[in-house]
Amino acid sequence: MSELGRCERRHRKISRLLFAGLIVVALASSLVHQLLPASAADSRRPELVGWVTDPLGEPVQNAEVSMYADGMKEPIAVAESQGDGEFALELPEVPFETLSVDVSRPHFHSQTWSPTPDELELLRQGATIRLPDITMERRITLGFWVATLTFVGMLALIALERLHNTMAALLGAAIVLGVSSVGSPLNPDLFILDFEQALQYVDFDVIFLVMGMMIVIGILEATGIFQWTAYQAYRLSRGRAWLLAIILMILTSVASAMLDNVTTMLLMTPITLEIALVLGINPLALIIPEVLASNIGGISTLIGTPTNILIGSYADIGFADFLINLTPGVVLAQTALTIYVLVVFRRQYREVSGGLSPAMLDRLRENGRITRPKTLAKAGTVFVLMLLLFIFGEQIHLVPAVTAILGAAVMLLVVDTDIQEMLKVVDWTTLMFFIALFMVIGALQEVGLISLIAAGIKQLVGENLNLALLVIVWSGALLSGVIDNIPFTAAMLPVVGYLTRTIPGASSKVLFYGLSVGSAMGGNSTLIGSSPNMVTAGIAERAGYPVSYVAFLKVGLPATIITVAMGTIWLLIRF
């Protein structure tokens, strides 16, 4: 081996060790942060403390609270409300006769509070006074309409495929931030949110979990494991197409739950097409059931679908929680789906003819082999350990994002791959999509659209948890068929969060599970309902088997109704 080659290998090893070291430090920091007690702030000055809420009783963050003395124009103290709506105004050492407190925030009507003479006296004596809760009334501003129309426009651009999802989300974020920055000096009502606020809405748990899983999946998918399992399904079925369909549905469902349904379908579809051609049946009779099963299977784990990643992070639902609370429902839905598929495609399954030459069978066998067995053995072991860490890691304060990054780092180390190459598998387009999406949803929360929707649903369902569950599941299923379920789910999270806090019995997080079931299973109803549907149709079309919107709808819509019904029944039983 040349000196140059040895240097390169050493450089790679050092890079990997540095990367792993960074992860270990991040992990240790995360654990230490969890274990250290929070230090309480000491204040010896008299204070005015209070809470700011919106009309729904939700805390209002970043409200500016200003204290004025004796009618002066300049405030003598200023504070901002925190995440829980609390603020504390420290009284400075200045003489005063009267005091007033103004609470203001964009998209709300300002509020003023003045202490009584008794309260003033108490403050002079150094006491701290707790103000009555301040409820700020919402104000529909021009910014409200800009943010709402931007979100609707973004959804339309994605649904009509006029722009790539990431481009549409970035455009949305640029509009709300641009209008806020440039428009608000001209008309303050155009303010939506500033960049600092927008960043606060970005859920970095989601970003790092998605990034970690990208690396893990990137390593595993290049091993040929998907293709091998599909080929084994073909062998196991011994030419019986109905049995092959069942096995493939189970395989795609499990793979989607453990990894990702888009990756699963991207790698399973080509080999499934080849198997169908070997059997002499229409490939769509195998591919469509596969993609339907894939969309459902992903629901059962935290990492199975992007919507679950969003839900899990927002509602603090862990890997094990999804597994326990949704897997039986998924099994129920898959069973019903299998029966439905066997009925719908019964004719195609009877048309097995075969007839391809041994050379073509050899080619199929060649395409269905594991290409990197050593990598698979190492990466597979790490992946199993990673799954265990996902399940049990919460007990040692390991958040899923840290587990994913840890798994990715260890996998990079043991697989001995080129880190530069592997880091290329991190799809920044996808990460940008999530970041921009969070900002747009943040804008909707700022202007009050989310509160309006939450109040509307609350008015509709009242205190009835079962009714709320039905509304969330079925509206999610319906809307996910026509709009991208990721922005839909992201927008619904605060709504479901509000309903969870206000409806008796909803603290079990059943409504979040309902959102997961509705948004993921609903994607089966139309061709554009989910990403796996579209990439699968894209591959089939390139093999001469185009899937039309109507053809998919005819199979997908009844399948959605059946499976969502099963999912709903399970949630009603479980909770």
Chain positions contacting other proteins, by CB under 8 A: 161, 164-166, 210, 214, 217-218, 221-222, 227, 260, 262-263, 266-267, 270-271, 273-274, 277, 282-283, 306, 356-357, 359-360, 363-364, 367, 425-427, 429-430, 433, 484, 486, 531, 534-535, 537-539, 541-546, 548
Half-sphere exposure (Cβ direction) of 340: Cα atoms closer than 13 Å: 23
Q: Which two tokens stand for residue 345?
A: 């495609």
Residue with tokens 């409504």: 511
Instruction: Please say which residue, 212 or 494, places its beta carbon nearer to other proteins.
Output: 212
Shortest distance, position 411 Cβ to other proteins, whole Å: 15
Q: Which distant-in-sequence residues (6+ apart) come within 8 Å of 28 by Cβ? A: none
Instruction: Please say which residue, 271 or 457, places its beta carbon nearer to other proteins.
Output: 271
Instruction: Please say which residue, 112 or 548, places its beta carbon nearer to other proteins.
Output: 548
Decide if 247 contacts 503 (C-beta within 8 A).
no
Residue by residue, DSSP assigns 116-182 as -HHHHHHHHTT--EEPPPEEPPB---HHHHHHHHHHHHHHHHHHTTSS-HHHHHHHHHHHHHHIIII
Instruction: Please say which residue, 50 or 270, places its beta carbon nearer to other proteins.
Output: 270
Instruction: Please say which residue, 120 or 277, places its beta carbon nearer to other proteins.
Output: 277
Shortest distance, position 301 Cβ to other proteins, whole Å: 16
Nearest of 177, 207, 173, 170 to residue 194 by alpha carbon? 177
Decide if 435 contacts 146 (C-beta within 8 A).
no
Nearest of 387, 244, 419 to residue 323 by alpha carbon? 387
To 10 degrees, what angle do helices 428-447 and 204-221 make? Answer: 160
Instruction: Please say which residue, 237 or 305, places its beta carbon nearer to other proteins.
Output: 305
Instruction: Please say which residue, 89 or 222, places its beta carbon nearer to other proteins.
Output: 222
Beta strands 64-69; 99-104: pairing state: antiparallel
Shortest distance, position 541 Cβ to other proteins, whole Å: 8
d(CA 421, CA 411): 14
d(CA 260, CA 204): 19
Instruction: Please say which residue, 235 or 369, places its beta carbon nearer to other proteins.
Output: 369
Shortest distance, position 548 Cβ to other proteins, whole Å: 6
Instruction: Please say which residue, 40 or 359, places its beta carbon nearer to other proteins.
Output: 359
Q: Which distant-in-sequence residues (6+ apart) come within 8 Å of 358 by Cβ? A: none
139 CB burial (10 A radius; 0-12, 13-18, 19+): middle
Secondary structure letter of residue 186 according to DSSP: T
Helix then strand count (H, E) for the chain reads: 24, 8
Instruction: Please say which residue, 440 or 465, places its beta carbon nearer to other proteins.
Output: 440
Q: Which two tokens stand for residue 82?
A: 């925190």
Shortest distance, position 510 Cβ to other proteins, whole Å: 27
Shortest distance, position 351 Cβ to other proteins, whole Å: 12
d(CA 280, CA 354): 5
Instruction: Please say which residue, 278 or 499, places its beta carbon nearer to other proteins.
Output: 278
d(CA 221, CA 263): 8
Shortest distance, position 163 Cβ to other proteins, whole Å: 10
Shortest distance, position 364 Cβ to other proteins, whole Å: 7
Shortest distance, position 214 Cβ to other proteins, whole Å: 4
Shortest distance, position 218 Cβ to other proteins, whole Å: 6
Nearest of 524, 510, 492, 529 to residue 568 by alpha carbon? 510
Shortest distance, position 274 Cβ to other proteins, whole Å: 5
Instruction: Please say which residue, 154 or 465, places its beta carbon nearer to other proteins.
Output: 154
To 10 degrees, what angle do helices 225-237 and 261-279 make? Answer: 40
d(CA 118, CA 427): 62
Shortest distance, position 535 Cβ to other proteins, whole Å: 5
